[in-house]
Amino acid sequence: MDEEGVLERIRNDGALRSALDLVGDFDANRLDPVEELELPDGSRPTPVAGCAAGGTYFLCGPPGTRRPVLYAGSEGQATLVAADLAEALAVVTASASWQDALGGHPLDELEEEFRADHPGLDEARERIRAALDLPALSPEEARERLFAAARRTVPGFLPAPVGHDGRYEPMPFGGRTPR
């Protein structure tokens, strides 16, 4: 299924949409980024989802190509999450809190805390994987994919607000900031 088909399926399936929001903090109905962004090449990424903290997930590049997924937080930090939408959904589904996992927090602690707050976690993950035909990644595999994507953020995917000089800062990963 192409990325538009995936997004349409998520938006039209309330149970799937709720599961993704619960598991990955990925709300495909929130398409209102804090600010309009542009990439260093002058292109504008396309918002595809938001999170509860005010951040936005974007697709980068022209439609019909494999488009990396960029996350821009509401506090001026950004990172690539994955090489394309399917990988991004697999990563956020597998990781109890991908931002904390990216920051190097212990995965077993993150998973334990998340499970305590979300008893239906396994069922929600399975619903997402089955509905979108996603691979089941371990938290360790998800974090390695996040690290690989984060390493590609600078310089080509570090956004700037349209009409402003300053760029977002790269999100730290594994306890360090990529440069």
Domain limits, the chain: 3-153
Please report the pLDDT score of residue 5 as a whole number. Answer: 93
Cα angle: 37, vertex 90, 136; to 5 degrees: 170
Q: What is the spatial distance between Cα 135 and Cα 111, in angstroms, rounded to a whole number?
A: 18
Residues 6+ apart with CB under 8 A from 90: 82, 129, 134, 135, 137, 142, 145
User: Cis bond leading into 170, ω under 30°?
Assistant: no
Tens-place pLDDT, residues 40-61 = 999 999 999 999 999 999 999 9
Q: What is the spatial distance between Cα 59 and Cα 116, in angstroms, rounded to a whole number?
A: 32
The three-state secondary structure class of 56 is strand
Tens-place pLDDT, residues 105-123 = 888 898 899 889 888 899 9
What separation in angstroms does the CA of 171 have from each of 97, 107, 175?
14, 18, 10
| Phi and psi torsions of 85, nearest 5° | -65, -45
Please report the pLDDT score of residue 99 as a whole number. Answer: 87
- Tens-binned pLDDT, residue by residue, of the chain (179 aa): 899 999 999 999 999 999 999 999 999 999 999 899 999 999 999 999 999 999 999 999 999 899 999 999 999 999 999 999 999 999 999 987 888 888 888 888 988 998 898 888 999 999 999 999 999 999 999 999 999 999 999 999 999 999 888 899 999 887 655 54
Q: Are 38 and 44 in contact (CB under 8 A)?
A: yes
